[in-house]
Amino acid sequence: MAHINSWLVRMEPFRQLRFAALVVAVLILLGTFGYMVIERWPFLTSLYMTVITISTVGYNVPRPLSEAGQIFTIVLILAGVSTVFSVVFWTIGNAIEMAASEKTQYLFWRRKMDKSIKTIKDHYIICGYGRMGQAISGEFSAKHTPFVVIENNPEQLPKLISRNIPFVEGDATDETILMDAGVERAVGLISVAPSDSDNTFIVLTARGLNPKLFIVARSIKAEDEAKLKRAGADKVMSPYIQGGRRMAWAVLQPNVIDFLESAIDSESLHLELCETMVTAVSEFVNKTLRDSRIREVSGATVVGIKTPTGILTSSPSPDTEIHEGDVLVAVGTPAQLEALQKMA
């Protein structure tokens, strides 16, 4: 029995259960075969005798036993009862351990997470949970923006689990994985896979599944930006090039960089940038910036206006007219920007 218990400990839970059932089955077969040989009983009678002996239920012996049969029964009781009870107690203990194990908890968490992902909509999909993916998800979490992560690197999965971030494990270039992440219900996708080739395939696949998706992709090489745009990316960003420019600006115009960082830093409570679309019922429609009195009423400052046709006007003059569908790019405190959004 010591050998059996040591084997059980080293086995996986489900293999352990199968092994325990096999031990009991072998014991019953040996007992049945023993009675058939010693007592010359038929199979059913021998099986019945073996079961009532091992289980110690106390039923009457179906037929008188010979001396050899009595000795065999004693051995069967000693071997069978100890083995069966040992296996039963171990099975109960192991079942309790399995119920409380990390694997079981993860299975329940995974099932709950999958159900949640199936109901999510108007969300963003982040393909890749490296350093950039983690920074993006941090911004989304700070803004309470719904998102789902797709990650294929096993080393990143514990981080996603510990942070309770909804994710799908798999290759984002696979249509099935993108569907599992709800790409047909999503409003945007950010592809920050390790290579430009992966990002290109992700963009191409996602665009085919959802033509209305707003896609932003990372480009490691400057020459790959055109390929990503041809694949269907709305925006292509090269962090190395942009990072180099920001470092140059940090030296040449440090105060401008301080202003921009304070405006886009999610932890900043003083200044933010936001965009707001002007709806048909807005009080701004067909008014100039001067007449709309945005600055006087909300406190926010409009620094850009983008028309539905894609024309962006930076630093618009007070006489610039605001029309339905225009997007106002404004700077201000969170409270000021919230007031602007209500007005728009």
For residue 183, the model assigns a pLDDT of 96
For residue 149, the model assigns a pLDDT of 97
Most confident of 76-80, 88-92, 294-298: 294-298
Question: Mean pLDDT, to the nearest integer, of 77-85?
Answer: 75
Q: Return the amino acid letter for 185.
A: R
For residue 267, the model assigns a pLDDT of 54
- Residue 95: pLDDT over 70: no
Q: Locate tokens 């908890």: which residue?
A: 105
For residue 192, the model assigns a pLDDT of 95
Which two three-digit tokens encode residue 174?
Answer: 């696979």
* Average pLDDT value over all residues in the chain: 84
3-state secondary structure the chain: CHHHHHHHHHCCHHHHHHHHHHHHHHHHHHHHHHHHHHCCCCHHHHHHHHHHHHHCCCCCCCCCCCHHHHHHHHHHHHHHHHHHHHHHHHHHHHHHHHHHCHHHHHHHHHHHHHHHHHHCCCCEEEECCCHHHHHHHHHHHHCCCCEEEEECCCCCHHHHHHCCCCEEECCCCCHHHHHHCCCCCCCEEEECCCCHHHHHHHHHHHHHHCCCCEEEEECCCHHHHHHHHHHCCCEEECHHHHHHHHHHHHHHCHHHHHHHHHHHCCCCCCCEEEEEECCCCCCCCCEEHHHHCHHHHHCCEEEEEECCCCCEEECCCCCCEECCCCEEEEEECHHHHHHHHHHC
For residue 219, the model assigns a pLDDT of 93
263-285 pLDDT tens trace: 665 555 566 778 888 888 888 88
**What residue ranges define each of the domains in the chain, with the CATH number in brackets?**
2-100 (1.10.287.70), 120-237 (3.40.50.720), 269-343 (3.30.70.1450)
> Is the model more confident about 330 or about 95?
330
The Cα–Cα gap between 140 and 87 comes to: 51
- Residue 73: pLDDT over 80: yes
Most confident of 90-104, 170-184, 269-283, 298-312: 170-184
167-205 pLDDT tens trace: 999 999 999 999 999 999 999 999 999 999 999 999 999
Burial class (CB in 10 A: 0-12, 13-18, 19+), 36: middle
- Residue 88: pLDDT over 90: no
pLDDT band for 216, please (50, 70, 90 cuts). Answer: very high
For residue 11, the model assigns a pLDDT of 46
For residue 264, the model assigns a pLDDT of 62
C-beta of residue 193 within 8 angstroms of C-beta of residue 170: no
Bridge partners (DSSP) listed for residue 127 = 150, 191
For residue 16, the model assigns a pLDDT of 62
Bridge partners (DSSP) listed for residue 323 = none
In this structure, of 90-99, 250-259, 307-316, the range with the lowest mean pLDDT score is 90-99
For residue 14, the model assigns a pLDDT of 58
> Is the model more confident about 94 or about 79?
79
% of the chain residues with pLDDT over 70: 85
For residue 189, the model assigns a pLDDT of 97
For residue 5, the model assigns a pLDDT of 44
